């Protein structure tokens, strides 16, 4: 059985761009929108690509900037310069 990983982001201008990038790259992602934040759940693994986020935001994006927008995550993080991968290490 797979359990969900999730990430929650603030509803800021950057946040919306990142959410759009995540949805584009993760077809199985389920998005729940709340007044001030957006929670994304995804079965077993979720990937955030630097290039997709940059395309959405129209500027260079350092994946560390994610911390300015992120409210919470669940899952083990595997991060390099180009992508951040959320999954459960089993």
Q: What is the binding site for another protein (CB under 8 A)?
A: 11, 13, 16-17, 34-35, 57-59
Nearer to another protein, 57 or 71 (CB): 57
CB of 6 to another protein, least distance (A): 20
34-71 burial string, b = 16+ CB within 10 Å, else e? eeebbbbbbeebbbbbbebbeebbeeebebeebeebee
Nearer to another protein, 36 or 77 (CB): 36
Nearer to another protein, 27 or 58 (CB): 58
């Amino acid at each position: 059985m797979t359990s969900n990983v999730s990430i929650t982001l603030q509803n800021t201008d950057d946040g919306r761009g990142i959410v759009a990038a995540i949805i584009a790259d993760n077809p199985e992602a389920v998005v729940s929108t709340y007044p001030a934040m957006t929670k994304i759940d995804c079965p077993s693994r979720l990937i955030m690509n630097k290039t997709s986020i940059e395309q959405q935001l129209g500027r260079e994006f350092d994946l560390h900037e994610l911390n300015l927008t992120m409210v919470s995550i669940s899952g083990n993080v595997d991060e390099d310069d180009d992508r951040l991968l959320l999954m459960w290490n089993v």
